[in-house]
Every structure is written in C-alpha cells, then in structure tokens.
Amino acid sequence: MTNGPDFTLADCVLAPKVLLHDHLDGGLRPGTVLDLARETGYDKLPADTPDALAEWFATAADSGSLERYLETFAHTVAVMQTSAALSRVARECAEDLATDGVVYAEVRFAPELHTEHGLTLDQVVEAVLAGFAEGEARARELGRPIVVRCLLTAMRHAARSREIAELAVRFGDRGVAGFDIAGAEAGNPPSRHLDAFDYLRGQNSHFTIHAGEAFGLPSIHEAVSFCGTDRLGHGVRMIDDITLPPGAGPADHSYPGAQLGAIANYVRDKRIPLELCPSSNVQTGAVASIAEHPFNVLAQLRFRVTVNTDNRLMSNTTMSREFLLLHEAFGYGWADFQRFTVNAMKSAFLHFDQRLEMIDEVIKPGYAVLMG
Ligand SMILES: O=c1[nH]cnc2c1ncn2[C@@H]1O[C@H](CO)[C@@H](O)[C@H]1O
Ligand SMILES: [Zn+2]
C-alpha cells in the first residue's frame, strides 16, 4: 500500500468520509448526556462533569467483553426517552459527523429501547428523523454538507424484529434506509430473526446484521447464507476462515498463498461489505490491538472493507481518528482511504444513481485535492 506522508488528525478531517456503522445511542456528546439527565430527572449517571463522564464511558467500555461494553448504553438510552431528547441527540450527531468531514452517514438505533416514557415506535422514529433533518440543514449552512439516513435496529435477544422491520419499511421513503440487529451476539444467532429478514427481502428492503464480532464464523455463515444479509456489521472474525502463509504479519503489503475457506470466498466473491470498527473491536476484546486488527489482511485480500466508528462516545473516537489509527498501524495513504471510502459509498443503502453521484461529485474530487 502507499506509504503516504505523515498525516495529522486535521488532514483526516479534510478527507471526505462515509460512515455506515454508527450507533445514535453510542455517540452522544458527554455534555448532552448530563443536560438530558438533568432535564428528565435521571439520577444514575456515574459522573457529573463532561470530562469525567467521557472518561467513565471510555474506561467502562474498555472491558474486553461485548456484554460489559453494552452495559454502558443503559445511561445513554435512559436519557433518550422523549421526542425533544431524541431530536437533540440526532441533530448533534449530524452536526458532529459533518464537522468531522463525514459526507454520508447511516446512523442506527433501536426504537424499541426508547419507549419507556410512553413514546410510540413511530414517534421515536419521527423525532430522530426530525433531528437529522435539522442537523443536515445546520451543516449545510456551515458549508459542511452531509446526508444522513437511519437504520432501525432490533435487539437480537428480544422478539420485536419483525415489528421493527415493518417499521423500517413503513418509513422507507422518509429517511430510513434499512434494518439491523444488534446486542449480545453469543447465544442469539441471526437465524432467530429469519422472519424479519424474509419479510424485508420480500419488500426489496436492505439490511445489515451485527455478526462475527463477539462470536465467530457460525454467526457470519448464518447472517450471509441463511439470512441473506446485504452487509456484515463488523464481520471481523472473517479472519478465522483465512489461513495466512507462514511468517505473515498483520501489516504486510500482500499475502501470497493465503487460503480462503468457503465462507470467506463467498463473502469476497459476492462483494459483501464488512463494516469494520477498529477501536470498538479492541474494547470488546474481538482483537488485541489496532496493530493486530485483521483490517489490513482483509483489505489486502480485497474484501470490501469499510472504516467505521461504531460508538463514538464509548470509544472516544471519530471517523478521522479511526483513519489516523489505521494510517499509523498500516501506513495507508490517500489512495487507500479513497478506496475504503468508495467501498463504503458503493455499499450504502441508497439508490445506485445517488451513490454514483456522491462518488463522482464529492468523494473523488475531495481525494483528488488531497492527493495534489
Ligand atoms: O458493537 C456492537 N455490537 C452489538 N451491539 C451493539 C454494538 N454497539 C451498540 N450495540 C447495541 O445496539 C443498540 C442500538 O444502537 C445499543 O443500545 C447497543 O445495545
Ligand atoms: Zn455496532
């Protein structure tokens, strides 16, 4: 790969970025969590200043286990139970992503988690969409245009996936681009939700599945082969189906002789996108470090890899920071980041002409400037 010049975070902010895997309830501003807790009378926050709260989330999420990582969401979900709170969080999300140089984002959340104070599922979705629209308008005014779509997530341990899938289809022409399942992966295989996936395929709708994060190949196999997923949320354990040549390291420039198993071949042949989230994977213990992340192996073997944040609050990260971390670990230059960004845009749940326009009008011109 191109060993580009040394990048700074500011350089990475300038690059147009596409984000496919970001959780709304994992990306709140710490100060907003505090404001909303005060407004709604939620008194269980573990800290009372923005800095201390940011620190608490990052440390608590650094647990080495997906289950413990997910416990931290109790606090963000607790303060996202009114239309006003949901709209504010969504507006700030769009603004923060635009400020970071993200030009297209699909942001996901689970409507079923936001009905504790009496909102209906429809009201939850409407509030979030209104917030995204406001955020997009503000970003445009600031000269940092962004397009934000949302994905509706169903929790994989629960039993509401069919209902949430129907909700996603119903809002399909109002800013909901697709569907997802998330939550604790072990013990909750994707095939539990076949009904929802069958329904979505029948509706010509798009979906992604969190698979191959905390659980390995069987989860990826089900998501791809039984459920027919369009993309893989994480999919990092794809590496378990790849045998590298002796002596190969995680930062090599090529992997001659690498052997792919049946699932890896299928995913690569079909160009099924991998929504890789480097920092999140380190926190949940899916990988030991960024330097050992299979991102580079998968990229060099030409899987359709994309770079994502997962949860900006829990990982104290941004898209630009994920780019920088990958640059530091693997020496990627702008040509590489353009490829990952085009991969992501090609994989977006937008119509073909819309994806093409973003690639031709926004992404390629943006990288052309950076590449001088
Ligand atoms: O990396 C992840 N793996 C699995 N589930 C996740 C991850 N990040 C967040 N959530 C779950 O998705 C819900 C809706 O956004 C969150 O509340 C959290 O429980
Ligand atoms: Zn996720």
Q: What is the pLDDT of residues 83-113, one digit of tens each?
A: 999 999 999 999 999 999 999 999 999 999 9
Listed in sequence order, the DSSP H helices in 230-333 are 262-269, 278-283, 295-300, 319-330
- The confidence score (pLDDT) of residue 5 equals 60
| Per-residue pLDDT tens over the stretch 129-151 | 999 999 999 999 999 999 999 99
Tokens matching residue 147 = 């397009």
**Cβ pair 153, 110 in contact under 8 A:** yes
Of the bound ligands, which one is closest to the alpha carbon of residue 26?
A: 1
Q: Smallest Cα–Cα separation from 309: which of 34, 18, 74?
A: 18
**Cβ pair 42, 120 in contact under 8 A:** no
Q: Are strands 259-260 and 231-234 parallel, antiparallel or unpaired?
A: unpaired
Catalytic residue among 92, 213, 222, 322: 213
Average pLDDT estimate for 223-252:
97
Give residues with Cβ within 8 angstroms of 151, minimum separation 6: 106, 107, 108, 168, 176, 177, 178, 179, 180, 208, 349
CA of 22 to the centre of ligand 2 (A): 7
Rounded distance between C-alpha atoms, residue 306 and residue 370, angstroms: 20
Rounded distance between C-alpha atoms, residue 94 and residue 276, angstroms: 21
**Atom 5 (ligand 1): residue with closest C-alpha?**
183
Average pLDDT estimate for 26-34:
98
Helix (H, G, I), strand (E, B) or coil at 310: strand
For a mutational test of ligand 1's pocket, the pick from 19, 21, 23, i.e. the residue with the most ligand atoms closer than 8 A to its C-beta, is 23
Q: Strand locations in the chain, DSSP E?
A: 17-23, 102-109, 147-155, 176-182, 207-211, 231-234, 242-243, 259-260, 274-276, 305-307
Q: Strand locations in 28-121, DSSP E?
A: 102-109
CA of 183 to the centre of ligand 1 (A): 5
Is the per-residue pLDDT at 3 higher than 90? Answer: no
Average pLDDT estimate for 177-202:
95
- The confidence score (pLDDT) of residue 143 equals 97
pLDDT band at 194 (very low <50, low <70, confident <90, very high): very high
**Atom 15 (ligand 1): residue with closest C-alpha?**
109
**Atom 11 (ligand 1): residue with closest C-alpha?**
183
In the annotation, is 213 catalytic?
A: yes
Judge if pTM exceeds 0.80: yes
pLDDT band at 7 (very low <50, low <70, confident <90, very high): confident
Ligand 1, CB cutoff 6 Å, lining residues:
23, 25-26, 66, 70, 73, 77, 108-110, 113, 153, 182-183, 210, 213, 280, 310-311
**Cβ pair 31, 361 in contact under 8 A:** no
**Cβ pair 290, 282 in contact under 8 A:** yes
Q: Smallest Cα–Cα separation from 310: which of 98, 70, 84?
A: 70
Average pLDDT estimate for 170-199:
96
Is the per-residue pLDDT at 298 higher than 90? Answer: yes
Burial-class residue 197 by CB neighbours within 10 Å (0-12, 13-18, 19+).
buried
- The confidence score (pLDDT) of residue 186 equals 87
Is the per-residue pLDDT at 4 higher than 70? Answer: no
CA of 55 to the centre of ligand 2 (A): 20
- The confidence score (pLDDT) of residue 1 equals 42
Helix (H, G, I), strand (E, B) or coil at 259: strand
ipTM value greater than 0.95: yes
Rounded distance between C-alpha atoms, residue 179 and residue 227, angstroms: 13
